[in-house]
Amino acid sequence: MTPIETLWEKLRQDTLIDPLRESDCRLLKTDLTSAFDIFAGVDSIGCAIVAFSTRAKPPEIDFETGALDYFRQPRLNGHWLMALRLKNENLQQVFGRLCQDLIDESRAILTEAGLISLFRERLTLWKRLFVQNNDGLLKPNQIKGLLGELLALESFSAALQDAPHSLILAWTGPDGGNQDFLFSNQAIEIKSIAPFTEEITISSPAQLDCALPLELHLYVLKESAPEQGGSLSLAMQVIRIENILRSSPEALKAFRQKLLAVGYVENPYYDTVTFIPMETKRYSVTEQFPKV
């Protein structure tokens, strides 16, 4: 349980003893050492809230999903609250991880304008996450695809061990690039497939069309039970990459932001979907390669 989840539980217990009036909320500061006032909160029906206090009136933000809503309101001291509320309690674990990550990231922010910018940036990512996945979690086929990209990332790290941030910048798939990796001298597209697969799906001709020399890498991943020998989960592979990047805070931060961009949020669920990497096949996409 993250620290903010612990505070939500305390606030709910307090509300049982001292109920809130309808439309009221109760707040607790998350970190007394922070440069900003950041609060965990619950409303009168127990919905979890994360809120930031600002001197300036927060901006209007067009943000609402079936799971979350954004609101702002004046405080008695003349400041404002910029807040996000969870409406689906089944998503609290995902929401808690997202909120804690946001709070941790805010420690590096020096100005209120920077804090608001970070908040807006994260809301954009979160909205995409909850619109694409109602439960905030990746589906098995998405897990498989991301695992292949992270296996590729690990394999490329040996050649760029002195430039970990450049390695993460080259991972362009989360940014919407046509290829998953774009290096200075080469582009690489990654596909994760099951054993004995005889065909793959290319989402658009642009995936296999590049001015740079282009390779297609196929990662053959066999579904497995978590207890099976050689099994690998997405959570395990994320930790492996984080350990590789540990010496570069800049690269580690960029990596975690890209994970969030593709919808990965730390969750025990990702320990339960596992695969055994069987082999990797590499093809040069040349004039002789099949094309449309």
CA dist 235 → 3, 17, 79, 174, 194 (Å): 20, 39, 40, 17, 20
Please, are residues 53 and 37 in contact by the beta-carbon 8 Å criterion? yes
> What does DSSP say about strands 187-193 and 80-86: parallel, antiparallel, or unpaired?
unpaired
| Burial degree of 84 (CB within 10 A; 0-12, 13-18, 19+) | buried
Q: How many other C-beta atoms can be found within 10 angstroms of the C-beta atom of residue 45?
A: 10
* Predicted local confidence at residue 89, as pLDDT: 84
Rounded Cα–Cα distance for residues 182 and 185 (Å) = 8
Rounded Cα–Cα distance for residues 115 and 54 (Å) = 9
Tokens found for residue 41: 């909160």
* Predicted local confidence at residue 57, as pLDDT: 93
pTM for this structure?
Answer: 0.82
Domain boundaries defined on the chain: 3-132, 140-284
Per-residue pLDDT of the chain (292 residues; tens, 9 = 90+): 899 999 999 999 999 999 999 889 999 999 888 889 999 999 999 999 999 999 999 998 887 777 888 999 999 999 999 999 998 888 888 999 999 999 998 988 999 999 999 999 888 888 877 776 667 789 999 999 999 999 999 999 988 888 899 999 999 999 888 999 999 999 999 999 999 998 888 888 888 888 999 999 999 999 999 999 999 999 999 999 999 999 999 999 899 989 988 989 888 999 999 999 999 999 999 888 877 6
Rounded Cα–Cα distance for residues 266 and 251 (Å) = 18
How does DSSP assign 23-47, residue by residue?
A: T-EEEEES-TTSSS-EEEEEETT--
